[in-house]
A and B are shown apart, each in its own frame.
Chain A
Amino acid sequence: MPGRSPKLTDAAAAVAAVEDGDHVAIGGIWSQNSPAALVRALIRSGPRELTVSAGPAAGFAVDLLIAAGLVRRALLPNVTFEHLGMAPAFRAAVESGEVELVECDEPSLVGGYRAAAAGLPSQQVASLLGTDLAATRPDLVGRTVEGREVLEVPAVAPDVVLLHAQEADPFGNLRQRGTVFADKVMAKAARKAVLASTDRLVGNAEIRRDPWRTTIAGYLVDAVVELPLGAHPCGSHGEYVADEEHLRGYLEAQGDERQGAREDWFRTFVEPASHDAYLTACGGPTELARRLGEGGRWL
């Protein structure tokens, strides 16, 4: 009798699911629980003309993808490094017109994921009636249902969704700390593939010991990549906090007008094909754990 098939793979093989022109959705929120290592692998694999969306508030991982020049179109309500500053690549790409930005917000984007998750053409929303945002979106169609005015937000179905989980088993059962944000609804909305990085691979028996801790069930996930510190420089709740020093370094490099400064940063922190080499470039896993590790304070 055939056994259950594991979904384990490596980062390069996982992101090969993304083709030119695909819509890629990035999980997590701002600088937390972001699949940053998968995004770096995606940049190395180099698909072109991507559409990008997020869950829905975005930060480093999305800005990096835009900085790498892979993005043509974006559905991003909010991209920010918060107290560290504005998102430099996002801002520059929108100001130059290099990236076509579809104005949206939580109701219009999460509503769109919801419709796609259910395989329906649209989701009704009322909160955006009469707003400037709605005025920029002629595709949001107004109608009256049972005497109430609503807008129909079209379904938003990413081709490939990238997520990060603190723990996962080989069959794609994910355990995420904090909240799942929009990760689950994006996973359900995916057309082709849901790819997850995990800080720690655990066995199916361990998952079964505490099934209520599984945030996204394996049947929604297509590939699992074990990448310790895989959200770095973003935080992974309970494992490590966001690396503000690294994030500041990125912001400085993006703002550095000198010839080759941005390329140098990419060469050091994005080009290393192995995750171990990346972690070494960032000071090594021991040093990172010392600086950023939550050190068991969590559980």
Chain B
Amino acid sequence: MSAPEPAAPRELLACLLAERLRDGETMIVGGASQVPMAAGLLAQRRHAPNLTLLTGSGAVNPRPRSLPPSGGDAEYVRTAEAFFTMEDVFDDTERGRYDVAVFGGIQVDAYGNFNLTRIGVPGEPPRLRGPGFVNAGIATGAGRFMLLVEQHSPRVLVERVDFASGAGSRRPDGTPYPEARRGGGPDHLVTSLACLRIGDDGRFELATLHPGVEPATLVERTGFALDVPADPPRTDLPDPEALVVLRTAVDPTGELRR
């Protein structure tokens, strides 16, 4: 077998997230989440056949024949094994039944707080109104969550979010969230430039820098303080077999390569 073509940027992100999903976890995926969906579907076909995938369409464990752009797409519904309702989401959220979710935002800060809600001064109409976070309770109640930033930039990766739609490891000002919180909070942040993970102080630290990215570029493009050594560990490229599975079974029409 000849080596597959190198991973396109979004294919790489899907593979990196997939590697971070564990067999037996229950994963909930929202809208506008093509890369997280690809990750879940890929993980199910590789190391995590017992990953339960709950999609924004209400479909449980769908097997889409191609990768839809919308989380609510009919293809998820056509190929599901069961459906859940919003009341199920209410119960599962409060009970903490979700093991893992993947979120993004218009801002993400060093503590993994993410903002889908608003940019601007509190108490005033927002300078920018985001789409809103459909379920803030998942961030506090899920076993853990990962963050995905497809375009790593200092506008997105900020020291403090203007509004924490989803609660990170600590509040944006660094003070702790209440004890009553059940979920484990953020653990990984995967971006177009690097993989980060939550350190002991609750802030993201560099895990690996993607191949071909200069350490100085990462510092420059990150809006929060980040220690980057001169010669940091590098992200392993996806296993060629993972790419083959991704391209044949998960995304045969090449949506992630567009």
Contact between chains at B70 and A30 (CB < 8 Å): yes
Give residues of chain B (60-88) contacting chain A, Cβ–Cβ below 8 Å.
Answer: 69-74, 77-78, 83-87
CB proximity of A212 to chain B, nearest CB, Å: 14
In the bound complex, what is the Cα–Cα distance between A76 and B131 (angstroms)?
10
**Smallest CB-CB separation from B88: which chain A residue?**
A179
Q: Which residues of A contact B134 (CB under 8 A)?
A: 56-57, 77-78, 105-106
Q: Which residues of A contact B132 (CB under 8 A)?
A: 76-80, 105
Contact between chains at A29 and B90 (CB < 8 Å): no
Q: Which residues of B contact A184 (CB under 8 A)?
A: 85, 87
Q: Which residues of A contact B164 (CB under 8 A)?
A: 131-132
A contact residues, range: 35 or more
Q: What is the interface size of chain B, counting residues whose CB is below 8 A from a CB of the partner? A: 52
Q: A91-B129, A128-B140, A129-B140 are in contact. Are A82 and B71 (CB under 8 A)?
A: yes
Question: Is B56 on the interface with A (CB-CB < 8 A)?
Answer: yes
Using an 8 Å CB-CB cutoff, how does the interface string of B40-59 with A read, 1 for contact, 0 for none? 00000000000000001111
Contact between chains at A31 and B70 (CB < 8 Å): yes
Contact between chains at A126 and B131 (CB < 8 Å): no
One of A129, A177, A180, A294 near B180 (C-beta < 8 A): A129
Binds A, one of B15-23, B120-128, B203-211: B120-128
CB proximity of B233 to chain A, nearest CB, Å: 34
Contact between chains at A83 and B69 (CB < 8 Å): yes
Contact between chains at A127 and B136 (CB < 8 Å): yes
Question: Is A110 on the interface with B (CB-CB < 8 A)?
Answer: yes
Contact between chains at A106 and B135 (CB < 8 Å): yes
Q: A56-B134, A83-B70, A94-B129 are in contact. Are A126 and B94 (CB under 8 A)?
A: yes
Q: Which residues of A contact B72 (CB under 8 A)?
A: 29-32, 57, 82
Contact between chains at A128 and B131 (CB < 8 Å): no
**What's the A-B contact tally at a CB cutoff of 8 Å?**
178
Contact between chains at B56 and A30 (CB < 8 Å): yes
Which of B34, B56, B74, B134: most chain A CB closer than 10 A? Answer: B74
CB proximity of B68 to chain A, nearest CB, Å: 9
Contact between chains at A96 and B56 (CB < 8 Å): no
Contact between chains at B69 and A130 (CB < 8 Å): no
Contact between chains at B165 and A132 (CB < 8 Å): yes
Contact between chains at B94 and A179 (CB < 8 Å): no
**Smallest CB-CB separation from B118: which chain A residue?**
A94
Question: Is A289 on the interface with B (CB-CB < 8 A)?
Answer: no
Interface of B is mostly: loop
Q: Which residues of A contact B137 (CB under 8 A)?
A: 105-107, 125, 127-128
**Smallest CB-CB separation from B32: which chain A residue?**
A82
**Smallest CB-CB separation from A127: which chain B residue?**
B137
CB proximity of A245 to chain B, nearest CB, Å: 14
One of B84, B90, B129 near A114 (C-beta < 8 A): B90
Give residues of chain A (74-112) contacting chain B, Cβ–Cβ below 8 Å.
Answer: 76-80, 82-83, 86-87, 90-91, 94-97, 101, 103, 105-107, 110-111
Q: Which residues of B contact A91 (CB under 8 A)?
A: 128-129
Question: Is A202 on the interface with B (CB-CB < 8 A)?
Answer: no
One of B89, B94, B125 near A125 (C-beta < 8 A): B94
Residues of B within 8 A of A (CB): 31-32, 34, 56-59, 69-74, 77-78, 83-87, 89-90, 93-94, 116-117, 125-141, 163-165, 167, 177-178, 180-182
Residues of A within 8 A of B (CB): 29-32, 55-57, 76-80, 82-83, 86-87, 90-91, 94-97, 101, 103, 105-107, 110-111, 114, 125-133, 148-149, 177-182, 184-185, 235, 237-238, 241-242, 294, 297-298
Smallest CB-CB A-B distances: 5 pairs: A127-B137, A179-B58, A182-B86, A179-B83, A83-B69
CB<8 Å pairs between A and B, sample of 17? A29-B58, A57-B56, A78-B133, A80-B132, A82-B32, A91-B128, A105-B133, A105-B135, A106-B86, A107-B135, A111-B90, A125-B137, A127-B136, A179-B57, A179-B59, A181-B58, A237-B77
